[in-house]
């Protein structure tokens, strides 16, 4: 036998042996395990917690010269984008996992992006085989159906990461009516010039379309005003999450020296108490009378009414195939392909987690280069509340409902148009360059997210897009001197 033939036979034997070993160490979880237990085993086999946790379990070669820097980078990047421990704890305890965590795990399993090739080439049992993928995705489907049942969607969309907005959420009608009055009442500000609606106008998309809102005495805030529409679906309020409820959020601006400037709620109560008719109306609903607790509770009840269902996208998810155009349907597919639907998941398409601004590239460095805008206190994000370094530059993900109307964009209001926002998200959050054609289709999809308020399609008196607003400004006659 020729030497070359012997070598070939030896190679074939080695490959066959390695294949047997690979199959032996990379088995799918036992069918005797529960779906949660199977998913946990797949995540553990994949070594997910070795990068996606605060206390990673390092492999034996972690301190080898070449491996050390690469592993360190993977851990830093992995933990910055996703802490998997709360998800694994939920699986263990049988409690509800975060809806975004579900979407992230589902996406990684579907596209094969995790575990990284550098990892599974060394850890043979870690790669996700077809059998493992099927088991894991079924577990995700069951978890979503159990904890986030998509009862409004058509059967084919029941497992989508995004759910239609319901027509309403439970609220107290009488309290909400009082909250409506207070929401529009400038007596909540020290000089009687600013109300909640000043920065969160109901005819302007729930925002004011300014980079920074203007409070009393012309003072400017440090972050862009988020929309009040659909805020009821957020897991916390404010960009940095400093309010746990709508009522708690309503108590912030009146006492903020830049926004409404009151020294205390006693000051507000004193002013409102002069209105005997309002006091009578208020105490009929709140016998305990005017106080910070009752005022903010009423405003919070009113804000529960600010939901905007029945967008073209909602109707599409409910089974109306004609509700969206072909470009919008393709735009939704691209929205998921570019991983947008992982963080922008749930009913509000966001508002469920804190995410790092600049996961794949340095957003703030680029902003400084283009706008000559250095770091501000508003850029600290969640860190301002926790002091935990991982939370620096991490913000509550904004909901994307009615996003065409809520320009400018991002926590700093630095991005004027949807097209620019899409480009920057692809670059800084996903690490990809999006083509002009794909950008246009994603933007078309985002325009399908405008819903209805009180049965009427939401519009913005400033302009139904940033471009329209700019055109109106240019066309307006110059002010007389």
| Enzyme catalytic residues | 259
User: Which tokens sit at 433?
Assistant: 């360059």
Q: Is 292 exposed, middle or buried (0-12, 13-18, 19+ CB in 10 A)?
A: middle
Cα 107 to chain center, whole Å?
15
Q: At a CB cut-off of 8 Å and minimum separation 6, what does 94 contact?
A: 36
Identify which of 75, 50, 46 has the alpha carbon closest to the alpha carbon of residue 60: 50
CA dist 303 → 214, 298, 345, 406 (Å): 21, 9, 21, 17
d(CA 145, CA 232): 22
CA atoms in the 13 A half-sphere facing the CB of 326? 0
Q: CA torsion 117→121→127→129, rounded to 10°?
A: 110
CA dist 11 → 2, 5, 18, 128, 190 (Å): 15, 10, 10, 26, 83
User: Which tokens sit at 322?
Assistant: 């004609």
End-to-end CA distance of the chain: 102
CA dist 365 → 208, 223, 357, 374, 410 (Å): 27, 18, 11, 8, 15
Please report where in the chains the tokens 């409102």 appear, as a residue.
Answer: 272
Identify which of 219, 206, 204, 213 has the alpha carbon closest to the alpha carbon of residue 257: 219
Give all strands (DSSP E) within 320-465, no chain letters.
Answer: 354-356, 394-396, 452-453, 456-457
Please report where in the chains the tokens 């036979």 appear, as a residue.
Answer: 9
């Amino acid at each position: 036998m020729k030497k070359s033939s012997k070598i070939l036979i030896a190679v074939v034997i080695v490959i066959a042996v390695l294949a047997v070993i690979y199959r032996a160490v990379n088995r799918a979880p036992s069918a005797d395990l529960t779906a949660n237990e199977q998913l946990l085993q797949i995540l553990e086999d994949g070594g997910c917690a070795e990068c996606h946790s605060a206390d990673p379990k390092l492999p034996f070669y972690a301190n080898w010269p070449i491996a050390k820097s690469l592993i360190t980078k993977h851990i830093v990047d992995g933990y910055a984008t996703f802490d998997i421990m709360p998800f694994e704890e939920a699986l263990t305890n049988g409690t509800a996992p975060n809806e975004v965590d579900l979407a992230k795990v589902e996406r990684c399993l579907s596209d094969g992006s995790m575990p990284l090739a550098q990892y599974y080439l060394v850890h043979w049992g870690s790669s996700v085989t077809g059998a493992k993928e099927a088991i894991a995705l079924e577990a995700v489907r069951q978890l979503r159906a159990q904890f986030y049942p998509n009862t409004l969607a058509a059967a084919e969309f029941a497992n989508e990461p995004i759910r239609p907005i319901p027509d309403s959420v439970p609220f107290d009608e009488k309290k909400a009516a009082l909250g409506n009055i207070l929401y529009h009442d400038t007596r909540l500000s020290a000089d009687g010039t600013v109300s909640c609606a000043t920065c969160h106008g109901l005819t302007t998309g729930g925002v004011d379309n300014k980079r920074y809102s203007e409070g009393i005495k012309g003072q400017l805030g440090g972050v862009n005003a988020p929309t009040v529409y659909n805020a009821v679906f957020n897991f916390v309020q404010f960009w940095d999450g400093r309010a746990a409820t709508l009522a708690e959020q309503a108590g912030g601006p009146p006492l903020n020296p830049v926004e409404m400037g009151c020294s205390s709620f006693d000051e507000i109560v004193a002013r409102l108490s002069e209105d005997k008719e309002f006091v009578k109306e208020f105490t009929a609903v709140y016998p305990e009378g005017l106080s910070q607790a009752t005022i903010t509770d009423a405003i919070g009840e009113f804000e529960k009414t600010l939901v905007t269902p029945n967008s073209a996208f909602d109707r599409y998810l409910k089974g109306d195939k004609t509700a969206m155009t072909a470009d919008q349907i393709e735009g939704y597919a691209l929205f998921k392909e570019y991983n947008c639907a992982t963080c922008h998941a749930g009913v509000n398409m966001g508002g469920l987690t804190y995410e790092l601004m600049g996961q794949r590239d340095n957003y703030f460095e680029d902003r400084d280069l283009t706008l000559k805008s250095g770091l501000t206190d508003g850029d600290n994000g969640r860190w301002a509340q926790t002091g935990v370094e991982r939370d620096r530059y991490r913000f509550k993900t904004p909901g994307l409902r009615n996003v065409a109307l809520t320009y400018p964009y991002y926590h700093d209001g630095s991005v004027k148009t949807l097209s620019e926002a899409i480009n920057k998200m692809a670059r800084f959050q996903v690490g990809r360059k999006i083509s002009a054609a794909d950008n246009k289709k994603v933007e078309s999809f985002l325009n399908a997210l405008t819903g209805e308020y009180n049965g009427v399609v939401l519009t913005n008196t400033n302009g139904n897009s940033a471009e329209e607003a700019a055109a109106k400004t240019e066309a307006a006659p110059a002010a007389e001197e």
